Structure 1
């Protein structure tokens, strides 16, 4: 094995970790892959003989790349944050061992939505420290701040993230509530829909450039919206989305919408819907077809 192949083998051993870091930083699977690829290119151009901690070096490189991406995204003033749904990780309702391994390392979509509201530096500090245990004295040089300031960035992020909707434990319990929602929608039963929704439920719909994205609040408002799309209820398929129960709408057997509700206390407290045809086409949903 030559030196390049040996280096590639060492890099591959870290790929899953690096992709997990980048996905939490960016909320985009394609951008996460781009960040990991950039880390490989920089590694291939570097003198690796002096690298005592390859994992730490690669994590730092990926973090810097992600930080640049986040800052560029902010400067371009992309889509309003309250109507953007991060890329979901979708698996079948009965995931195989490989899918289970991916889902076990995933993070809830509702949490990713909250991370989208943080500044790039806050997001990086929180993700690296709270999710991956990176010390603040290693985070500080990445964001160009002191360790004390990096600690403050993570603390501010933590206060925001504390309000993220966490789902009830157990897929069967989540599925029961979602099935009740589907049954009520299919039957056009407004009262039954309201009964399964939290009074302050939030509905976030991301159509990308294919239609009007938006944010709605309140059980009555969300129930009325659900009734408008009740004809699609027979075409949904149960899946697991970022470790929680969810649905994919597949009229004609083709995925068109990813429906990610968050069930807490036996009620649906948040619904994130990705209906952007461009991004749906980029997701790995081949196992559902």
Structure 2
């Protein structure tokens, strides 16, 4: 990079496009580390603010601007993860990672009211399924950062060490510990088409308030967790047991009546549901399916976490 520039000076700064091209990678990193697109966007903003706070000479002295941006973003995420645990103690109910729609379902365009900037979209793969993100959230901040940077983004431990502030050997141990957590929590999942069929049958049974059909689709030890964040009415404690979940969800359908409709969609890369209430998306449901049974349901009702869904076109997929 040979000159410094602000975000609006791309024509006079041939290096700006290279710097800004890192934005999507930083969003992807931030989301996996924090489980929140809003927080990931804040991290990216802060990262770029620090870049542009440097002088032209300081910028030119950086051999790899992309690596510098990742290092700064990683350190900011590490600090945020450390403070997040304290914030969770005052969070109303359970905290669930922010659910994401399939990128194809997002409106393209600018990052304002008219749509979402493609650079803000998160690449959906196994590392952003809800089940995976929940496991990541159980890790210590250092474990999570070391694991995501090395195992997901393939950064060598020498570079990870610079971000985490530990030796490469210590980072290798952190990633190994995190890997064991992932292996322990992982369940065998069938093909996506098969999972979609189970979610579709669950939707049909739920709309019919068919408790027996719901029970047949749920693992006997299934868990349903909801996140309203104190901003939406929901169960504050997880519901454990297939039969208890079936009866609770049938009661939800009875109370909601005709005001609520369901749409099958993709949530964090896997089949899920969204609930429309009075024409507005009120809840996003993610599922963990093992074999032919639903093992976990995550219901996100916190309106601050479902904002990417609120600007989707109102098309139906099921």
Q: TM-score, normalised by structure 1?
A: 0.89
- d(CA) in 2 for partners of 1:182, 1:284: 19
Matches within 5 A, 1:98-247: 102-104=122-124, 107-162=128-183, 163-165=185-187, 167-170=189-192, 172-210=193-231, 211=233, 212-231=235-254, 232=256, 235-247=261-273
- d(CA) in 1 for partners of 2:191, 2:106: 17
Displacement of 1:135 after TM fit? 1.1
After superposition, what is the alpha-carbon deviation per residue over 1:231-258, rounded to whole angstroms, capped at 9, x for unaligned? Answer: 4586011111111111111122101111
Displacement of 1:102 after TM fit? 4.5
- The SS at the match of 1:235 is strand
After superposition, what is the alpha-carbon deviation per residue over 1:35-79, rounded to whole angstroms, capped at 9, x for unaligned? Answer: 011110111123121222222111111000001111111234435
Say whether the 8 Å CA contact 1:93–1:239 is kept in structure 2: no
Displacement of 1:126 after TM fit? 0.7
Say whether the 8 Å CA contact 2:211–2:250 is kept in structure 1: yes
Does the alignment pair 1:13 with 2:21? Answer: yes
Pick the structure with more helix per residue.
1
Displacement of 1:113 after TM fit? 1.1
After superposition, what is the alpha-carbon deviation per residue over 1:82-136, rounded to whole angstroms, capped at 9, x for unaligned? Answer: 821111111389789979x845457101111111111111110111011001111
- d(CA) in 2 for partners of 1:263, 1:195: 13
- d(CA) in 1 for partners of 2:292, 2:106: 24
Say whether the 8 Å CA contact 2:102–2:124 is kept in structure 1: no
- d(CA) in 1 for partners of 2:92, 2:188: 20
When structure 1 is superposed on structure 2, of 242-251 and 89-98 the one drifting more is: 89-98
> Against the structure 1 CA distance between its residues 81 and 122, is the aligned structure 2 distance closer, same or farther, given a 3 Å change threshold?
farther
Say whether the 8 Å CA contact 1:85–1:206 is kept in structure 2: yes
- d(CA) in 1 for partners of 2:3, 2:170: 44
2:70 to 59, 70, 74: 59
Match of 2:111 in 1: none
When structure 1 is superposed on structure 2, of 138-147 and 231-240 the one drifting more is: 231-240
Match of 2:113 in 1: none
Unaligned runs of 5+ in 1: none
Say whether the 8 Å CA contact 2:149–2:155 is kept in structure 1: yes
- The SS at the match of 1:214 is coil
- d(CA) in 1 for partners of 2:88, 2:293: 34
> Against the structure 1 CA distance between its residues 284 and 181, is the aligned structure 2 distance closer, same or farther, given a 3 Å change threshold?
closer
Say whether the 8 Å CA contact 1:92–1:240 is kept in structure 2: no
Match of 2:61 in 1: 50
Displacement of 1:267 after TM fit? 1.5
- The SS at the match of 1:259 is strand
Displacement of 1:179 after TM fit? 1.5
> Against the structure 1 CA distance between its residues 31 and 134, is the aligned structure 2 distance closer, same or farther, given a 3 Å change threshold?
same
> Against the structure 1 CA distance between its residues 213 and 92, is the aligned structure 2 distance closer, same or farther, given a 3 Å change threshold?
farther
- d(CA) in 2 for partners of 1:209, 1:52: 46
- The SS at the match of 1:278 is coil
Say whether the 8 Å CA contact 1:239–1:248 is kept in structure 2: yes
Matches within 5 A, 1:238-277: 238-277=264-303
